[in-house]
């Protein structure tokens, strides 16, 4: 989904409340977590001194303010944002596949991820208790492995490491999948071009998710291949 406008407004409000300074410039957002964006924003807005009292305490305050600012803008998500082509149908199709557990691994903090999914009617297709989020203190590759572990514990079943498919839209995400040794379908629906994503080495590159049957078939093929290794 594309909710960049609402996200930027929430970032600005939360940043101002915890630092006392306006958010004049934003760092690169693609593939980055909300915590990374916050600390880089401190640097590019000459507000690093605000972290002198303890960066983790400041981050905790920021994520709390960010959740409140974003939640207050829930109604704007569908007014100013949009689901990308084929996203809803693809999510529904993969969620209905036998044996599939579906969650999110996102740079967004969990409360805001839940708000986004709820606003677009997608909450029922994801189990956020086995996901990874922007406040987690792990690299993205480690988060992928941790998601699998959480799923095994929650559903009392063994999940082969490779029987996971990560749908990603940035080179950093593709790299994380490679580090975690999981399959990756890269979708050129963000700032990264198809050629940029292909260079990062995913298993498959798609222009978008509009071919619902094709997306479901790719997920099925990649998980079956991985599970049979």
Give me the CATH number covering residue 221.
Answer: 3.40.50.1000
pLDDT (0 to 100) of residue 214: 97
Specify whether 35 is located in the same domain as 58.
yes
d(CA 134, CA 106): 6
CB atoms within 10 A of CB 70: 27
184 phi and psi angles, rounded to 5 deg: -140, 130
pLDDT (0 to 100) of residue 119: 97
pLDDT tens-digit readout, 61-74: 999 999 999 999 99
Specify whether 71 is located in the same domain as 92.
no
pLDDT (0 to 100) of residue 47: 84
Q: Are 179 and 163 in contact (CB under 8 A)?
A: no
Specify whether 89 is located in the same domain as 74.
no
d(CA 99, CA 134): 27
Q: 105: helix, coil or strand? A: strand
Specify whether 57 is located in the same domain as 168.
no
pLDDT over 70 percentage in the chain: 95
- First and final C-alpha spacing in the chain: 34
Specify whether 198 is located in the same domain as 98.
yes
Specify whether 209 is located in the same domain as 98.
yes
Alpha-carbon separation of residue 83 from 80, 87, 95, 110, 121 (angstroms): 11, 6, 17, 19, 11
Specify whether 52 is located in the same domain as 10.
yes
Please state whether beta strands 204-206 and 183-187 pair in parallel, antiparallel, or not at all (unpaired). parallel
pLDDT (0 to 100) of residue 209: 97
d(CA 27, CA 229): 41
Q: Are 116 and 126 in contact (CB under 8 A)?
A: no
Q: 107: helix, coil or strand? A: coil
Cβ within 8 Å of residue 20, ≥6 positions away: 50
Tokens of 198: 């292909």
d(CA 22, CA 72): 19
Q: Are 187 and 215 in contact (CB under 8 A)?
A: no
Q: Averaged in consecutive runs of 10 residues, what is the pLDDT profile of the chain (229 residues)? A: 94 94 86 88 84 76 96 97 96 94 95 97 97 86 92 93 89 92 93 94 96 96 67
pLDDT (0 to 100) of residue 229: 46
Structurally, the chain folds into a number of domains equal to 2
């Amino acid at each position: 989904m594309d909710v960049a406008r609402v996200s930027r407004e929430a970032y600005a409000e939360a940043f101002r409340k915890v630092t006392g300074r306006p958010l004049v410039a934003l760092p690169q957002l693609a593939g980055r977590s909300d915590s990374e964006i916050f600390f880089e924003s401190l640097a590019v807005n000459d507000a690093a001194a605000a972290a002198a009292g303890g960066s983790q305490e400041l981050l905790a305050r920021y994520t709390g303010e960010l959740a409140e600012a974003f939640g207050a803008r829930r109604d704007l998500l569908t007014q100013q944002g949009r689901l990308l082509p084929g996203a809803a149908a693809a999510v529904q199709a993969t969620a209905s596949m036998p044996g599939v557990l579906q969650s999110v691994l996102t740079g967004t903090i969990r409360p805001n991820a839940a708000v986004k999914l709820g606003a677009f009617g997608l909450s029922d297709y994801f189990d956020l208790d086995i996901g990874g989020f922007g406040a987690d203190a792990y690299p993205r590759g480690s988060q992928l492995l941790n998601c699998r572990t959480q799923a095994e514990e929650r559903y009392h079943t063994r999940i082969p490491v490779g029987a996971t498919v990560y749908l990603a839209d940035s080179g950093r995400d593709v790299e994380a999948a490679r580090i975690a040794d999981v399959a990756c379908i890269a979708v050129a629906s963000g700032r990264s071009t198809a050629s940029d994503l292909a260079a990062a080495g995913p298993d498959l590159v798609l222009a978008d998710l509009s071919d619902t049957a094709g997306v479901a078939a790719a997920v099925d093929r990649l998980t079956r291949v991985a599970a049979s290794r």
